[in-house]
Structure 1
Amino acid sequence: MTHHHHHGDGPVPLSDAARWIVVSVVALAAAAVALSLVVLWPSSSGDHPIPIQFRSADGGPIRTETATVVAQTRAACQNPMLGLAVDSRELLPIDTGDGSCLVTTIRLDSGADKGHYVLLQVPTNRARSGDGPDQPKLNPATADDPQPGQPTLHVDDSIRVSTLPATQDSPPRYNFYDFARGPSLIIWAILFVLAIVVVAAWKGLRSIIGLVFAFLVLGIFTLPSILDGHSPVAVAVTSSALILIVVLYLAHGISMRTSAALLGTLVSLVFAGVLSWLAIRTMNIAGLSSDQALSLQIYSGSISMTGLLLAGFIIGALGVLNDVTITQASATFELAAAGEPSRLATFRAGMRVGRDHIASTVYTLVFAYAGSALPLLLLFSVASQPFGMLVTTDQVAIELARAFVGGIAIALSVPLTTGVAAMLVTIDPRGSFRHLRDA
């Protein structure tokens, strides 16, 4: 490697060879991403049939309206006015006897029947208890609670109700669809943005903008392209690379430090893709154990579930790899600036930081997946099956494979990124280093 001296006793500038290698690779990656975007861009029609579970009775999309809970009482089930809109609460007959349902009165806040009142019915545990051998015994403490899977509604709750269109024989009817979470989501989003911006200042704001860009890529390109029948793996790699290139430079600035992190992340992402493919093949993971996967397979048999699973592995590894590589690149440049005597010494010092980072990130990775699979683990814990059999089921194997692939990719990314960053620091023959802030 050659170094050029400006002065006899001055610092040696950044190696031209290392600099141009990194710049060339990043430029080639950007060109490849641009070409892939052109090839894989979804068709402009976007006309896809609506899945059955999201289709209304007339074949169109489910239409919902907002409503507010105004009253609730325990009453008999099968009230004849259920779901019908009336213009006065006094017109709703409610038998407040010792019934086994929670009858909820709501006021419609949007739609053609805005301001009208509707009765909704939520069955309690009383409705499913009995004396048969397969019937659950009634627990007095939870007798009046909604049955599992039923919503727990309170007065003043904001909800969304689906509309069953009117026919010649009946007026429109309304049913509970979901809670209206818009206001609470906005509040939490504002708190999230404020926390990031207050602590990380302009760099935090740029990272938020990058996050918005990432979701736009997923919504505008990734999902429509996969639905168009393109390879999920090719789409995931293109999306991940595009997000990395834009987000890293946006959040951390255009510099050789950022370029080192980007190069380390891109190469590690390729490793993650290969490892994911090997894990899926060797573990014989089908990816059809979840209800969503089965529904998608029924909806569109042309989408490769194995490819979709692999794409999920790649995108899932994106965030944790980005975290590790940018930290390693920054640590390596700062260690060089602190006075490490050589590139080798800088690499070794960076690896000492990286080993701690690997240990902590692997814990984060595994426990994040374990937390998401907690309901499944609880269900399996009472299944009276050997642990060895339960842990090798398709559902658990998927989460384990994600953790294994992510951990290996992290372990590979640390020496790779540290090595690239160590090659890019500027050597001072007198024994001190300084990092290149903007090359």
Structure 2
Amino acid sequence: MSADHHHHAHRELPEFPQARRLTLLLLVPAVLITLVGMLLLWPRDTPQAEGPAGPAVVTGEVVALTPQECPPVPEGDQPLENCGTVQVRLDDGGVITTDIPNGPGAPEVSEGDDVTLLALNDEGGTSYSISDHQRGDELWMLGAAFALAVIAFGRWRGVTALAGLAVTFVILLYFIVPAILDGRSPVLVAVVGAAAIMLIVLYLTHGLSITTTIAVAGTLASLAITAILAAVATGAVHLTGVADETSNFLTITQGDVNMRGLLLAGIVIGSLGVLDDVTVTQSATVAELALANPSYGFKRLYGAATRIGRAHIASVINTIVLAYAGASLPLMLLFAAGDTPLGELLTSQMIAQELVRSAVGTIGLVAAVPITTALAALLASRRSRPVAAPPSRAEPRPAGDPWAAFVDRND
């Protein structure tokens, strides 16, 4: 089979009526409900910023540095490290002189660096202060390397995966975030948005096949469980959703946003990325087991695929914990340096929020394995039963989907 034929076979419905009916039976209602939900929740009056707040931002290139010895500071104060002046050629052609950035977290600049500056209006003129580096070119290069690596390894699947990633960003930026800012229920917005992302991305990436349909069903069920558990857990632990400077600032600037609902929305959306990985893997695993062992019934298919799922879940759980630990490492160091008792540390609003997020996401993930595996094994075992008079076919079916190949072999 040519690679081109293989690619097209993945994108078409399998050529047998049972699979087409089952796919449409799940896909059509799910799409309709998701579309109705998006229409009802679509943002209509999203708050818009009236204009840039604070000093104007300009860009330029560092053309010269003149380091100087730092003046002494009073005893007990933090000594200055980088002193002197820097010349910057602004993008409009003008050349200005400003101080070398100093202090904790200040950017380190050298000749040739592209920098961002704040233009401050002082009495008698404008002064400039370097605030950060420009990173646009480097990020574009990194993005191009990422896309090339995905396409080089995944080929056509890599292209569809990148298209799915683009769809995810579009739904996040043009539906989920504006709808929450517009005062819609963050939980409903997250569930509907996650369903839209899942339906488009899974079928776009893995094709219109019965394998994908089973993964979609398992993901929908697990997302519902995750949302319910998140609501129960955040209420029981008395989380408000306001735990850090960002959430505090959001409550001040956007008072209509339901912060506890925003926390629930974050849990649901965060769970989706791992859920679809597990459900697609389990569905494809059962399909491959049924194809390799046509005599396997429901019990043996479910048992074998579940054992594979346990190994997958064990590694994924460790990945989730390490991801949260890595993101929270500065916070953990801050608490450790402050000698905070462990009990007080774990029950603080900020840490408790992450613990609830991890626990609820993991429970939803664990639930996804038996649900998806049972659905796939049930379908595979029903198809493995012999039929009295298999229909004759003039042409072979496309073999892009393992379920289609399995039915072909057992017909």
> What TM-score, normalized to structure 2?
0.83
Q: What's 1:363 paired with?
A: 318
SS in 1 for 2:338: coil
Q: What's 1:173 paired with?
A: 127
Select 2:334's aligned residue among 369, 374, 379. 379
Structure 2: how far apart are the matches of 1:322 and 1:292?
29
Structure 1: how far apart are the matches of 2:294 and 2:105?
60
- Partner deviation per Cα, 1:207-248 (whole Å, 9 max, x = no partner): 001101100111111111111111111111111100000000
Q: What's 2:106 paired with?
A: 150
Matched to 1:122, the amino acid is: P
Work out which of the two has the higher radius of gyration on C-alpha atoms and give 1 or 2. Answer: 1
Select 1:436's aligned residue among 393, 404, 410. 404
Matched to 1:436, the amino acid is: A
- Partner deviation per Cα, 1:98-132 (whole Å, 9 max, x = no partner): 98652342423424xx2423313423xxxxxxxxx
Q: What's 2:384 paired with?
A: 427
Identity of aligned residues (%): 35
Matched to 2:322, the amino acid is: F
Structure 2: how far apart are the matches of 1:118 and 1:230?
48
Does the alignment pair 1:160 with 2:116?
A: yes
Matched to 1:311, the amino acid is: A
* CA separation of 1:345 and 1:429: change in aligned 2, threshold 3 A: farther
Structure 2: how far apart are the matches of 1:316 and 1:366?
13
* CA separation of 1:364 and 1:404: change in aligned 2, threshold 3 A: same
Q: What's 2:142 paired with?
A: 188
Structure 1: how far apart are the matches of 2:119 and 2:47?
23
In the alignment, is the contact (CA less than 8 A) between 1:229 and 1:303 conserved in 2? yes
> What TM-score, normalized to structure 1?
0.78
Does the alignment pair 1:350 with 2:308?
A: no
Structure 2: how far apart are the matches of 1:405 and 1:311?
12
SS in 2 for 1:370: helix
Matched to 1:40, the amino acid is: L
Q: What's 1:85 paired with?
A: none
Does the alignment pair 1:48 with 2:48?
A: yes
Structure 2: how far apart are the matches of 1:189 and 1:42?
30
TM-fit CA distance, 1:384? 1.6
Structure 1: how far apart are the matches of 2:231 and 2:23?
27
Q: What's 1:102 paired with?
A: 83
Structure 2: how far apart are the matches of 1:99 and 1:215?
42
Matched to 1:420, the amino acid is: L
- Partner deviation per Cα, 1:308-339 (whole Å, 9 max, x = no partner): 11111111111010111111111111111111
In the alignment, is the contact (CA less than 8 A) between 1:68 and 1:157 conserved in 2? yes
In structure 2, stretches of 5+ residues that fail to align are 1-14, 72-78, 388-401
Select 1:198's aligned residue among 152, 170, 175. 152
TM-fit CA distance, 1:289? 1.8
TM-fit CA distance, 1:417? 0.8
Q: What's 1:117 paired with?
A: 96
* CA separation of 1:394 and 1:421: change in aligned 2, threshold 3 A: same
* CA separation of 1:406 and 1:421: change in aligned 2, threshold 3 A: same
In structure 1, stretches of 5+ residues that fail to align are 1-12, 58-62, 79-97, 124-146
- Partner deviation per Cα, 1:240-273 (whole Å, 9 max, x = no partner): 1000000000000000100111111111111111
Aligned length: 369
In the alignment, is the contact (CA less than 8 A) between 2:202 and 2:212 conserved in 1? yes
SS in 1 for 2:124: coil
Q: What's 1:300 paired with?
A: 254
TM-fit CA distance, 1:156? 2.2
In the alignment, is the contact (CA less than 8 A) between 2:64 and 2:88 conserved in 1? no
After superposition, residues 201-220 of structure 1 pair within 5 angstroms as: 201-220=155-174
Matched to 2:53, the amino acid is: R
Q: What's 1:410 paired with?
A: 365
Structure in which a larger fraction of residues adopt helix: 2
In the alignment, is the contact (CA less than 8 A) between 1:22 and 1:263 conserved in 2? no
Does the alignment pair 1:67 with 2:60?
A: yes
Q: What's 1:319 paired with?
A: 273
In the alignment, is the contact (CA less than 8 A) between 1:19 and 1:424 conserved in 2? no
SS in 1 for 2:164: helix
* CA separation of 1:115 and 1:318: change in aligned 2, threshold 3 A: same
* CA separation of 1:323 and 1:267: change in aligned 2, threshold 3 A: same
In the alignment, is the contact (CA less than 8 A) between 1:256 and 1:424 conserved in 2? no
Matched to 1:48, the amino acid is: Q
Select 1:223's aligned residue among 168, 177, 184. 177
In the alignment, is the contact (CA less than 8 A) between 1:335 and 1:346 conserved in 2? yes
Matched to 2:62, the amino acid is: V
SS in 2 for 1:288: coil
TM-fit CA distance, 1:154? 2.6
Structure 2: how far apart are the matches of 1:76 and 1:180?
27
SS in 2 for 1:39: helix
Structure 2: how far apart are the matches of 1:173 and 1:77?
21
Structure 1: how far apart are the matches of 2:239 and 2:169?
28
SS in 2 for 1:436: helix
Structure 1: how far apart are the matches of 2:170 and 2:90?
31
